[in-house]
Chains A and B, each alone.
Chain A
């Protein structure tokens, strides 16, 4: 009984120590993330620049405009540009992430089978990840030149980096190339923790490779895959460097929300820029929430660890997650 208060005090001490140790991180994050978020929200309600006041004088400076910057996105001259950027952002995200998942999972399956060459392949697969996006954009611009190697290989004369579907395709190909291996790596790590005997049991029960993939592999790597897809989706939603360098600024067919906001900000139209940025932030937040709530993306890894510890404590023989008994 006397243990209880002591444990309570210890918890309080731990709490204070935790607060102390966490404070530097939170101060920095508050400064570089928290403050800008609030400032952007405020800024999005203002407009800067010259206006004419009631007496006909030119006024320079900030002016409170309420929700005008947001209203302008949905109707008015800027609406078309906003919806185009919104559409591009969504389209890029859906297509590239879908392709990356298929390619990434295929890569992981191949690498999982490999007995030799593992080191080389592992190093090779990190190369696209390590290349700066801006450099890879230049590299693909070179590959996609009118008389470049891409056209030579497919024997055509596509002007890849000019406005149109081909520009979208160029951006998506370059993005898929760079990030599919990353998904492959994460999925491979997920594959490696699946115990071999699950597959043996499946084989004994007469499940073929396809059945094994859909009944064992996919369900068991699902937690890893959902987290990987979440990261990729959030990353693609804020895409900037690649279309900006590969195709260019103010190009309708590849302009993303981030590019739109950046362009407005670089023209010192901070109000609309902040409004676009805030809308993108909301979009990203909703998507993240959907992933965490509906698909159960376990980003922290805490829940899984807790479950594993509980199991270990009970010292039961690990019951393999329900497989192939059907």
Chain B
């Protein structure tokens, strides 16, 4: 029994090592001085924030890129939830013909390869002069965000007992009132979880942001990091990039730490019924 327990903890430790050690290396490398950037010591000595000050240097424009990311991912999340809520409720609650076909169609759209959307959308965006705008990134982002959100929300609505709104409707509520007053408040955790997952996915988006924008001041953070040309010398500025990576990732990691239970419920909701 004791050896089993030891094995158990060894297994868990191995998983944590696997998941966290590359992330830890990013942290460590970000906090080194540029002069000992290539050091292999597991702890930065001395700890330095030079890389971080370099990231937010005026000529790098990373602050602007962060703002762009927040705007794009934020607006995309809000729009997605506004539009997706009614569809999810319908799929979870109403009985109508072709329901399965509709659900399958919505899920299928999330499986389309992004590139087969990006090529024509790039052309369209060029034609209507949307290049280097927020909307050129936000609207195409809904192609993956909306199916994801509808799917997640549907799973949450399904978990709620149907008697609740039946009772409300017997008491004289219309379906819309039942939805607004009974279902939505109760589904708030699910909506919130979906918002987090959608936001993270939109925040991590790369190919659309890369294609629709060529003006540096409109780049999102993920694109900006991949395009860094260093503040120091000709080498690839890994120290600065690691610091930028930490800045982009830490908010997500904090979200994940705080809401891990809910996020996992959301991620697995569709897969396991």
Q: Interface on A for B, CB 8 Å cutoff? A: 11, 14-15, 17-19, 21-22, 24-25, 28-29, 31-33, 35-37, 39-40, 43, 107, 110-111, 113-115, 117, 119-143, 145, 147-149, 152, 177, 181-182, 184-186, 189-190, 193, 224, 227-228, 231, 234, 237-238, 240-241, 244-245, 257-258, 261-262, 265-266, 270, 273-274, 276-278, 280-281, 284, 288, 299-302, 304-305
Contact = CB atoms under 8 A, between A and B. Distances in A.
Given A33-B143, A241-B206, A300-B100, A130 B200 contact: yes
Contact of A185 (B91, B252, B257, B267): B267
B146 A28 contact: yes
B106 A25 contact: yes
B120 A36 contact: yes
Given A18-B96, A261-B119, A124 B83 contact: no
A299 to B, nearest CB: 6
29 contacts: A11-B97, A14-B94, A18-B94, A21-B90, A25-B83, A28-B83, A32-B121, A32-B142, A37-B117, A40-B116, A117-B9, A119-B260, A120-B16, A122-B264, A123-B257, A127-B23, A127-B253, A129-B256, A130-B252, A138-B241, A139-B23, A142-B26, A142-B238, A142-B242, A143-B22, A149-B40, A265-B211, A266-B211, A274-B116
Q: Which of A142, A181, A258 has the most CB of B within 10 A?
A: A142
Contacts of A123: 256-257, 260
Q: Name the 10 nearest CB pairs between A and B, nearest first.
A: A301-B273, A39-B120, A110-B11, A238-B113, A277-B116, A25-B87, A132-B204, A189-B268, A36-B120, A134-B222
Contacts of B270: 227, 299, 301
Given A15-B97, A133-B206, A305-B273, A181 B268 contact: no
Interface in B248-273: 248-249, 252-253, 255-257, 260-261, 263-264, 267-268, 270-273
A233 B84 CA distance: 26
B263 A126 contact: yes
A265 B122 contact: yes
A139 B25 contact: yes
Given A24-B83, A130-B200, A114 B8 contact: yes
B205 to A, nearest CB: 8
Contact of A142 (B241, B252, B267): B241
Interface string B91-135: 100111101101110111101111111111111100000000000
A94 to B, nearest CB: 17
A189 B272 contact: yes
Contacts of B207: 240-241, 258, 262
Interface of B: 8-9, 11-12, 14-16, 18-20, 22-23, 25-26, 29, 38, 40, 83-84, 86-87, 89-91, 94-97, 99-100, 102-104, 106-109, 111-124, 139-140, 142-143, 146-147, 150, 155, 158, 175, 200, 203-204, 206-207, 211, 221-223, 225-226, 236, 238, 241-242, 245, 248-249, 252-253, 255-257, 260-261, 263-264, 267-268, 270-273
Contact of A240 (B18, B112, B114): B114
A245 B206 CA distance: 10
A115 B9 CA distance: 10
Given A29-B147, A130-B249, A228-B271, 10 more contacts: A18-B90, A29-B109, A31-B139, A139-B242, A186-B267, A186-B271, A274-B119, A274-B120, A288-B111, A301-B270
A238 B115 CA distance: 8
B252 A36 contact: no
Contact of B19 (A39, A127, A302): A127
Contacts, number: 297
Contacts of A231: 271
A238 to B, nearest CB: 4
Contacts of B223: 134
A35 B271 contact: no
B246 to A, nearest CB: 9
Contacts of A14: 94-96
A140 to B, nearest CB: 7
Contacts of A185: 264, 267-268
Nearest to A34: B109
A125 B120 contact: no
Contacts of B155: 301
Contact of A25 (B146, B158, B242): B146
A57 B248 CA distance: 52
Contacts of A125: 15, 19
Nearest to A134: B222
B249 A131 contact: yes
A284 to B, nearest CB: 5
Contacts of A37: 112, 116-117, 120
A141 B270 CA distance: 34
A25 B103 contact: no
A284 B142 contact: no
Given A145-B238, A181-B19, A277 B119 contact: yes
Given A121-B15, A139-B242, A29 B146 contact: yes
B123 A135 contact: no
Nearest to B111: A234
B158 A124 contact: no
B226 A258 contact: no
A186 B117 contact: no
A293 to B, nearest CB: 13
